[in-house]
Chain A
Amino acid sequence: MIGGLFIYNHKGEVLISRVYRDDIGRNAVDAFRVNVIHARQQVRSPVTNIARTSFFHVKRSNIWLAAVTKQNVNAAMVFEFLYKMCDVMTAYFGKISEENIKNNFVLIYELLDEILDFGYPQNSETGALKTFITQQGIKGQHQTKEEQSQITSQVTGQIGWRREGIKYRRNELFLDVLESVNLLMSPQGQVLSAHVSGRVVMKSYLSGMPECKFGMNDKIVIDKQGKGGATDEAGKSGKQSIAIDDCTFHQCVRLSKFDSERSISFIPPDGEYELMRYRTTKDIILPFRVIPLVREVGRTKLEVKVVIKSNFKPSLLAQKIEVRIPTPLNTSGVQVICMKGKAKYKASENAIVWKIKRMAGMKESQISAEIELLPTNDKKKWARPPISMNFEVPFAPSGLKVRYLKVFESKLNYSDHDVIKWVRYIGRSGIYETRC
């Protein structure tokens, strides 16, 4: 298991050092600094073995977190733990920075004592931790016995991510469907690869221990229902359902229930958390199409014309559109004409950057540029990197729709109807490239 955990600043000075196992000595702290933080070359692996000691590290801005071990530990778990550690620290004191860590070092030691015992990760849900470890010192001195046992039963209990007795005057929840759409397209407009990776993020402000059920237009569910119900409708709704390649859930979701019935039921943590992640590859709505045209005029000139077409409902507006057209290294000058937005040649980035603030669906816009080149005797041909695009659209490119989110809380007197629910869809570009 994890033998020790160290936090360093960018200079390699130790900010936090907690050793859990006897086989890890102080020299391990230095070994990592010398061999990884101060190493001249780029880090070639997140796992480093120095003198039979293994170091796992992640970096958050300029802070290094390193877990150390001499055993054959579960490597995936160590990294998951390090990420979790970062999440917990962020939840307690915001950004992970040298200043914040120094200011909260006592708190961090307390947390490390609690969430890692003899190198074994323990309950690390902030919701539960905050009930007895706070920045103002530890609660617990003046608690009643009931409160104490409530804390321990929550930390060890089945629902470690939520405490009892939460109360809101207004029961409210927010669902964000955040998708990033990735595309690689050939110059002829053929889709080489496309996929959407999406997340459902939930902010819940609900009283008590509510039982929730989340439904979306998952093809498998809709087809199953279709079989039982009216056949006509099944055909219709089948079109609107989507095939999910794979999905993963927050630990609050009952996985065995999903496996057997494909229903997503859970008791949510309080506040913001990520309910699920998913991936789709079929029938993706590509919000934009890029049509490039590059012509070499002689040896010292290139003519580039790029057309973008928006491909969604005219009533919707895409935002923050940016098209990046790479230029050869020997570019000496560029003239650009665009119908909409602003375009600029950025010599330092070797690209023409074309920005459009807003664009409605089913529209088209174009840019043309003349690129003048310096004559070179470099035989190596220009590799023509792909044209990339960034944007944000108010719908889910995968076609995912939230069908319902039902809330049941039998003990308190509010029902599903009383809960105010908000749903929002945001589609962003991931790596969205068209070769030219």
Chain B
Amino acid sequence: MTDSKYFTTTKKGEIFELKAELNSDKKEKKKEAVKKVIASMTVGKDVSALFPDVVNCMQTDNLELKKLVYLYLMNYAKSQPDMAIMAVNTFVKDCEDPNPLIRALAVRTMGCIRVDKITEYLCEPLRKCLKDEDPYVRKTAAVCVAKLHDINAQLVEDQGFLDTLKDLISDSNPMVVANAVAALSEIAESHPNSNLLDLNPQTINKLLTALNECTEWGQIFILDCLANYTPRDDRESQSICERVTPRLSHANSAVVLSAVKVLMKFMEMLPKDLDYYGTLLKKLAPPLVTLLSAEPELQYVALRNINLIVQRRPEILKHEMKVFFVKYNDPIYVKLEKLDIMIRLASQANIAQVLAELKEYATEVDVDFVRKAVRAIGRCAIKVEQSAERCVSTLLDLIQTKVNYVVQEAIVVIKDIFRKYPNKYESVIATLCENLDSLDEPEARAAMIWIVGEYAERIDNADELLESFLEGFHDESTQVQLQLLTAIVKLFLKKPTETQELVQQVLSLATQDSDNPDLRDRGYIYWRLLSTDPVAAKEVVLAEKPLISEETDLIEPTLLEELICHIGTLASVYHKPPSAFVEGSRGVQHKRLPGSAGSGESVESPDTSSAAGLSEAPPAVIPSQGDLLGDLLNLDLTPPATTGPTPPPSSGMQLGAMDLLGGGLDSLPPIPLRTDTPQSPQLPHQSPSPPDYSPTELGGDLGGSPAMGAAFGAPPAVMPASFNAPVSGGLDDLFDLGGGVGMTMGAYSPPKTIWLPAMKAKGLEISGTFARRAGVIQMEMTLSNKAMSVMTDFAIQFNRNSFGLAPAGPLQVLTPLNPNQSIEVALPLSTVGPVMKMEPLSNLQVAVKNNIDVFYFSCQYPISMLFVEDGKMERQVFLATWKDIPNDNESQFQIKDCHLNSDAVSNKLQSSNVFTIAKRTVEGQDMLYQSMKLTNGIWVLAELRVQTGNPNYTVSLKCRAPEVSQCVFQSYEAILKN
């Protein structure tokens, strides 16, 4: 009989039998029984009931049996902490055993028993083992320190194990050094500020010596650790590089990649005119190419990394295009990655070869791959001007194949080619129009409509074509709808006489029959433009478009720098910073390349450098939000982009939109809010369709940019300042969401309260709160299923309310909610819903539906959530307005028991978009003058009196709509007291 028999025991009462066997006197029988237990454990059966019996077998001379018992212990000790203590004695005894293998086994297993009570007993044995005469025991003990630290960090520090571990870096045995380095690196990760891995030239020298002698895995630990070091000058940098380069010929790809990481990083410090710099560049290419002959999984990791390296230092691989040609039997993931790199390496020198290859690929079987190949041809056209003509003719050939997805993909890229080279290839439009009927994907339809609209004057039947699309207007995706609206307006401006009816039709479809705010807003803007000033409309809509960039999908530079520091790791495979996928504090610090910031910052203090990195990042980085947003989306923290406004503070849009809609309740500021200045120089650049039609971007374009906001008349001097804070705040959020620590700067959000008790809703319990995150109002809810059955099909609706709050997208509950499961949902809200004054003002009536029933509840939101980011009024305006509002509208409130000084008060309020405009000190009293603006354009002015030593503040609020004052006061209180 063989061991596989253990996997087949399924009969009842087996636990009972096992118990008897475990207590048997015969050694063989005992061992058999333990084997059975382990087999059951493997397949996922619960054998924890046998704990005492198995532990009894522990005291044995049979090493094999002992190992099996230890394996069991590691699995179940946590669930039986009291029993686990029984094992301690054996461990302590084993740590004294003359056989080093047994000593090591004991210390190795000890650390895996994660029971707090036990850990203290383990310190003494561990201390001995750290100083054991046998290197095998020492190397095991080194890792055990990391294990212990994971359970109880304080204990490890108190016991001084960290110092012992540091001493092991100077151990004579290379493997002990390697494991000590690995353990220290891990511990250091959770203590970003401690100077644990005190890397100095001496330790570096020790590490480099050990590097030559230890196992392949040890080399990886050491190289990864070296990569965290910042050399003092270029000389040191060069000497380390010289000693690391031999690793490039190691058979283990991970050693090679880690060596590449060290070299890529330290290279930043070498002067470019140095001979060695050139030599190093040359040395890097061959090993990278060799990685491509490894097994496919490793090729994938290598290719993802090469993709980063090529973006950072294109010169390394510029002559190696051929090795990235796709092989017939490459797995699909390797093929797609190779294609990506081919596009990046395409240049005038190799374009002919590349095109020939891409054309071959476009006839392959895998749909994703073919699409990407077609897209790549388009990218080549845009990147290498000389090749554009050949690319276009290749694309036309491909369109002739009539393969549906090939045609659609080709049309999408041809649109980009038209934008890059206007008035050059329009002769192909006729061919494109032939394929109009076969387009069924939104992106392709949108692209085609754009082409028709853009070249309406050359297409005789443009109106007919567009009209045909209009028939099913409501069934189209938003992308297509937006594009169709724009295209028809373009057509109208070009051929006004024949198309008046058509444009009327589309405008009314967009403004009256659509639920989509983006579409409506755009419709209204066009409508007003066309009706007030057709000349201006022409200037806006038919303005010259900005050129599209040559490179796409480039990783944003600061992120790229960070990823280069993570070569070889998961971060480089995902192309995301570790904070995006690692929980807790580990790896959340942002690494940076040395010297590249041009300042003397060292990487050794990750905290300061990462903070600097963030604040340095100018608001101009925002356009690449695609990537960041992508990250967010992957994190499931916000609903998909189609559901509504996205993080960049888009208050400008709300302001503008409200006014256009005529829904502004208040037009308080004396500066005109009218839209009669569309000739503002920035505006024309915003309006035409951007290269990518995603609604997100359009939302951003129409409202989110400061330029647009300025054009709508908000006080320009204040804008940049008031924008800066939320922008960087937003970035903060983006980077830190993963770590869950970034919200400190955010606006006040009350704690969650139960809105809908389970009793009233057939087991569905909803608790929630409201928050304003990066300019978006969110309703954050926890849905808990306290019933016995699964809940699905969630939907939400609001009753009309005072400020027109409405869900900006559907409720994102994608998976069914199982019994006893809770789910967190963040629902972004818009403020363009129907308005009805409620009592109290901030009351919100909500209906939630699921597969069981519809439930109603009402909740109140803090009004501070409606304070927009550009609520800072100019001083003069503030003064004038204050005087202008009749005194009857002023109301006074007392805020009691608040112990903050005036600066703290103003900071606290500022983070909730209450802006302090001026501060005056009169007789020991600080007078803060503050302004805030609600989403519907109502301004509220405040005067806050803070007296030192007096915990009671007085706030006077002035507003044209005095009804809100009470709510605003409540928010003041809530913000300050929280």
Measured CB to CB, the residues of A under 8 A from B are 1, 13-17, 19-23, 26, 29, 42-47, 49, 52, 54, 56-58, 69-77, 79-83, 99, 102-106, 109-110, 113, 117-118, 120-125, 132, 137-138, 140-141, 143, 145, 148-149, 151-153, 155-158, 160, 192-193, 197, 245-251, 254-256, 258-259, 274, 276-277, 279, 379-380, 383, 431
Contact = CB atoms under 8 A, between A and B. Distances in A.
The binding surface of chain A is classed by DSSP as mixed
Contact of B101 (A120, A152, A277): A152
A122 B246 contact: no
A248 B217 contact: no
A75 B294 CA distance: 14
Given A102-B2, A259-B245, A279-B293, 9 more contacts: A17-B42, A17-B44, A44-B332, A72-B570, A74-B569, A80-B253, A249-B250, A276-B251, A277-B251
A120 B221 contact: yes
B812 to A, nearest CB: 16
Contact of B7 (A26, A102, A152, A155): A102
B300 A120 contact: no
A122 B220 CA distance: 11
A123 B569 contact: no
A113 B175 contact: no
A256 B143 contact: no
B568 A77 contact: yes
Interface string B137-149: 1011001101100
Contacts, number: 273
A253 to B, nearest CB: 8
B880 to A, nearest CB: 54
B150 interface: yes
**Ranked 10 nearest A-B pairs via Cβ:** A246-B286, A152-B136, A102-B4, A76-B254, A259-B246, A77-B254, A72-B578, A255-B246, A121-B217, A46-B297
Contacts of A383: 360, 363
B47 to A, nearest CB: 13
B67 A118 contact: no
A72 B254 contact: no
B67 A110 contact: yes
A25 B215 CA distance: 30
B250 A251 contact: yes
B641 to A, nearest CB: 20
Nearest to A58: B297
B290 interface: yes
A54 B570 contact: yes
B764 to A, nearest CB: 23
Interface string B463-492: 000000000000000000000000000000
Interface string B59-85: 001111001101100010000000000
25 contacts: A1-B186, A46-B333, A52-B582, A58-B295, A72-B581, A75-B568, A76-B256, A79-B254, A80-B253, A102-B2, A106-B38, A117-B179, A118-B112, A120-B143, A123-B215, A151-B136, A152-B134, A156-B135, A193-B322, A248-B256, A256-B246, A258-B246, A276-B251, A380-B403, A431-B327
Interface of B: 2-4, 6-7, 35, 38-39, 42-44, 61-64, 67-68, 70-71, 75, 98-102, 104, 108, 111-112, 114, 134-137, 139-140, 143-144, 146-147, 150, 173-176, 179, 182, 186, 212-217, 220-221, 224, 243, 245-247, 249-254, 256-258, 286-287, 289-290, 293, 295-298, 300-302, 322, 325, 327-328, 332-333, 353, 360, 363, 400-403, 566, 568-574, 578, 581-583, 586-587
A122 B221 CA distance: 11
Contacts of B332: 42, 44
Given A83-B295, A102-B7, A22 B286 contact: no
A140 B293 CA distance: 41
Contacts of B35: 106
A121 B220 CA distance: 10
A104 B3 CA distance: 7
A120 B217 contact: yes
A103 B2 contact: yes
Given A76-B301, A251-B215, A71 B586 contact: yes
A15 B581 CA distance: 28
B250 A153 contact: no
A404 B461 CA distance: 79
Given A148-B99, A246-B290, A155 B136 contact: yes
B582 A193 contact: no
